[in-house]
Structure 1
Amino acid sequence: MLSKSPTEQYTYVMNCKQTTFSSEIPLVDLSKPDAKSLIVNACEEFGFFKVINHGVSMEAISKLESEAMNFFSLPLIEKEKAGPAYPFGYGNKSIGHSGDVGWLEYLLLTTNQEYNSPTLSSAFGQNTEKFRTVLDDYMCAVRKMACEILDFMAEGLNIQPNNVFSKLLMDKDSDSLFRMNHYPACPEQGEDDDENMIGFGEHTDPQIISLLRSNNTSGLQISLRDGSWISVPPDHSSFFINVGDSLQVMTNGRFRSVRHRVVANGLKSRLSMIYFVGPPLSEKIAPLPSLMKGKESLYKEFTWFEYKNSNYGSRLADNRLGHFERIAAS
């Protein structure tokens, strides 16, 4: 259980009205012929969509969720053996290096299992091999889904070759990450029905796309183009896809990275598992020539390493792409 320290400054936000799935969040059935066009439309309008028939078995999902909850149920002194998260490992309340605080604890891993061994051994002890096997099964299935979605994006945009995005994920040097966030039930939630404590502050994801699933506990919210916030109804069996900053650049702003946040729940704990699709550190990120057709580039070219380095000390809510936007001459 997390507890509040007198010196920690938590953020509260006004409740946003719960919205129905059918009226707001785009739904994509990956098994249907119209998946490509629906994905493109969703990325242009929301930067966010929900997928069903995604090919990840409920068995793989349930096994990893069970292992994650076993870990987060351990005493804090045991969990802290897998930390601190610099950058990989166990973290508690602190997010990043610039003072952001949230009502959560997490385990951040790389998708390259070779580099996770020290963290996993500290976190899971004798159960390390079991967790590694369960994690491998889950990540392989999610990676396959990610490649399918990325190829659908390229096909929907009429880009050749259609693996222009997915090859970055499949590269042996792909800088992809896997994160498990646990948001304990917040004991103070409910004292004021008009406000929610922030579990994870508003931000965009820097990578290409993020593939997220959670248990049946509400909390995720996304920002619409007009700046308003809507709550995303939880769905244990589906995945939600976020457009990241890198994909926004590669599509020259046609796809927009979605600003999102998580608010604390007063009754139930929330567990989310996110696969972040990252390019190799040396990969040059710039608008794809086939999407330009005489248009001005909105962004300067940069490598993924340069992006990460320039934003190392940024706050969650910062516009990280601001460093790389081209400013029109006045």
Structure 2
Amino acid sequence: MVVLANPVLDQISLIKSPDPGDYLSSIPTIDLSSSTSPDDIVRACKELGFFKVTNHGVSMDLVEKLEAEVVKFFTMSQSEKDKSGPSNPFGYGSKKIGMNGDVGWLEYLLIATSAEPFCESSIAFLRDPSSSSFRSALHEYITLMRKLVCQVLELMADGLQLEQRDTISKVVQGSECDEIFRLNHYPPCPLLQGFNCGLTGFGEHTDPQIISVLRSNNTSGLQIELSDGRWVSVPSDREAFFINVGDSLQVLTNGRFRSVKHRVVANSLKSRVSMIYFGGPPLAQRIAPLPQLMEEGEQSLYKDFTWGEYKRAAYKSRLADYRLGPFHL
């Protein structure tokens, strides 16, 4: 990667545009309305840590309504958006990602959806009476994301031949679960015109939670890393949700599932908006390989830790750090 010599970009790295062959031509697809084999979802989790779900039952009218509210927020004046500035670490932010020096060509709104009612949020925008339609769409969307996550995790349990279908899904259910909703906006960057490259929107990383569900507008930019180290672009799909295996799920399966490394690349022409739901367990939840999966004589690959301990460690790291490294045995 190189750096474009322009102080406006705050030393955000450039990423070479992918070659025509560097696109994920065949994305594992799980059709939730059919009798898709649970083996398919397990295979996707092992090989990529990434797949998409179709016929998920989430109304596209609702998705588009929430997306319109998100776009409305990001088109407000900068002074209005700044009133909802970051607060440990929730709220509005621009370019700076986390507290450890990571930057990207984006602005975002980060919401702790399980911590308190949206109308009582510490985020100023969500307390404003004018945001009632945003809150309503957000509440409905999050409710459906919880159901979708449970459905997907139960399919994973079936594929892993776990006796109880809720073995994994119950870990992300309940009022104490640590769920987060992230809204990202990647503006076009005219300074890139004429360059055969994109700009780092969100740097390479894995998600520390159990699972994450991504929806974006009809603009490409998402890339994932394959097991051989190659980066490939993921074609957008407005009708589907993309699922990422997180670090915690990798540990729960003792490395059988792969936590996918991914990044987002901004471009010079089109704005990209994405909405990501992160399903995490309670802070006190022990994260360790499921005993039901362990074969005779199999040893855990990881030290014992709680989600709260891992979350604190993740917050102290850089995006590209291998966060599970210190927890490996």
Residue 71 of structure 1: aligned partner? 73
Alignment pair present for 1:321 and 2:324? yes
Query: How many Å separate the matches in 2 of 1:32 and 1:110?
Result: 33
Report if the CA contact (8 A) 1:121-1:128 is conserved: no
CA offset digits 1:95-135 (Å, max 9, x no partner): 01110000000000012262542345435723222211110
Alignment pair present for 1:190 and 2:193? yes
1:43 partner amino acid: C
Residue 34 of structure 1: aligned partner? 36
Query: How many Å separate the matches in 1 of 2:159 and 2:60?
Result: 28
2:95 partner amino acid: K
CA offset digits 1:9-54 (Å, max 9, x no partner): 1111222235598833111111221242211110010000011001
Residue 258 of structure 1: aligned partner? 260
1:109 partner amino acid: I
Query: How many Å separate the matches in 2 of 1:23 and 1:118?
Result: 41
- Which is further off, 16-25 or 281-290? 16-25
User: Shift in Å at residue 320 of structure 1?
Assistant: 0.4
1:79 partner amino acid: K
Q: Counterparts of 1:1-330 in structure 2 under 5 Å?
A: 5=7, 8-18=10-20, 23-112=25-114, 114=116, 116=118, 117-122=120-125, 125-193=128-196, 195-294=197-296, 295-326=298-329
Give aligned-pair identity as a percent.
54
Query: How many Å separate the matches in 1 of 2:303 and 2:228?
Result: 26
Report if the CA contact (8 A) 2:24-2:234 is conserved: no
Report if the CA contact (8 A) 1:173-1:280 is conserved: yes
With the length of structure 2 as denominator, give the TM-score of the two structures.
0.93
CA offset digits 1:63-84 (Å, max 9, x no partner): 1000000000001110010112
With the length of structure 1 as denominator, give the TM-score of the two structures.
0.93
CA offset digits 1:173-201 (Å, max 9, x no partner): 000100000000111223211x2210000
Query: How many Å separate the matches in 2 of 1:119 and 1:187?
Result: 34
User: Shift in Å at residue 308 of structure 1?
Assistant: 1.3
Note the residue ranges of structure 1 that are not aligned, 5 or more in a row.
none
Partner SS for 2:61: helix
User: Shift in Å at residue 7 of structure 1?
Assistant: 7.9
Note the residue ranges of structure 2 that are not aligned, 5 or more in a row.
1-5
Aligned CA-pair RMSD:
1.7
Query: How many Å separate the matches in 1 of 2:109 and 2:129?
Result: 18
- Which is further off, 5-14 or 181-190? 5-14
